[in-house]
Homo-oligomer: A and B are copies of this chain.
């Protein structure tokens, strides 16, 4: 596997375009289109929030069939909490877009991100379609990644190439997300493309595993969005021998998707609203899988832990307190805590460590926290960021 240049249009046969149709007051691009020149098999995972955007509802219905050819994305408006109009808008917009592209309307997916509770400006979007479709090009992967941004400070994309029985196959992705990033489908939009020829069940399985291990294992602020969507399109244009589940080729493909998803989820955390530090929380020695996850998530979502990291303050007591309140069945008298490789709490009691050493660890941009419960064999790992005054500023001022 090697990293190659570009984003979602790096795989063969994928085009992207973007335009500014007037949803965002800033006049930045706010409408994006991803299109494959041939129909793709597709798979997706979506927010588990009970309150779902109309765009998500439409997408979930259409992707269930497993064949798609394009995704239209608007940023600046979530198309959520406006009633029945949401689904109607999503249907109208995808229908208009598919008509222009000459494909069946059911092949067009939609995703939205932005403010909740404000009707989507459907007319503006439809007026923008001509420019949007006109912009389609294999050179526009990066502008696609830019057009889906909201409070993101950088665009996020990646592309890799693997070799399937002598054929070059590409996997690529673009994501947006910086706030409302939380357990179970981080608040984000993630779009993956691949020119692999692959069986539908193999694509679904590989994508599910990759999302579980990446986007479902990050948190910025513990708030779960109404719009989370992760979608993969595979158009088969690499003309490799078709990848089947649980074969050697499958695992090569899986590794590529996992790598791309992890890299992109890492970029989301690094771009977390107001974040200045990347934090990896590992919990091991747990009695059960769920215990490991509960403790890791509780630490990752603790405001006291996250502000402590923002302050560069190695106050491990807050990690112990968060672990104890996670609801997991833990024995505090067996618990060890490490900052990086340095043991700071052993069997529930503080260890005498040079404060200078810990301050050095906390000055780094990447901080590793390890909790060893020494009670079993299960482990989990969550990525998060610190919690700064800047986060509050961004979210107090985010305009309704």
Contacts and interface: CB of A to CB of B under 8 A. Distances in A.
Given A317-B117, A324-B226, A392 B397 contact: no
A117 B223 CA distance: 30
A393 interface: yes
Contacts of A389: 389, 392-393, 396
Given A350-B118, A398-B313, A224 B392 contact: no
A228 B117 CA distance: 39
Stoichiometry, as copies per complex, reads 2
A307 B224 contact: no
A276 to B, nearest CB: 11
Contacts of A48: 325
Contacts of A302: 222-223
A317 B350 contact: no
Contact of A223 (B119, B321, B330, B391): B321
Main secondary structure of the interface of A (DSSP, over half): loop
A349 B80 CA distance: 8
Nearest to A50: B324
A214 to B, nearest CB: 20
A89 interface: no
A179 interface: yes
Contacts of A307: 391-392, 395-396
Nearest to A224: B325
A60 interface: no
A52 interface: yes
Interface in A354-398: 355, 387-389, 391-393, 395-398
Nearest to A345: B81
Contact of A82 (B179, B222, B349): B349
B115 A315 contact: yes
Contact of A392 (B221, B355, B391): B391
Contact of A116 (B49, B80, B82, B321): B321
A112 interface: no
A331 B51 CA distance: 8
Given A118-B350, A318-B116, A51 B313 contact: no
14 contacts: A50-B331, A51-B332, A80-B317, A80-B320, A81-B320, A84-B349, A119-B350, A223-B303, A223-B321, A224-B321, A303-B391, A308-B396, A355-B400, A392-B392
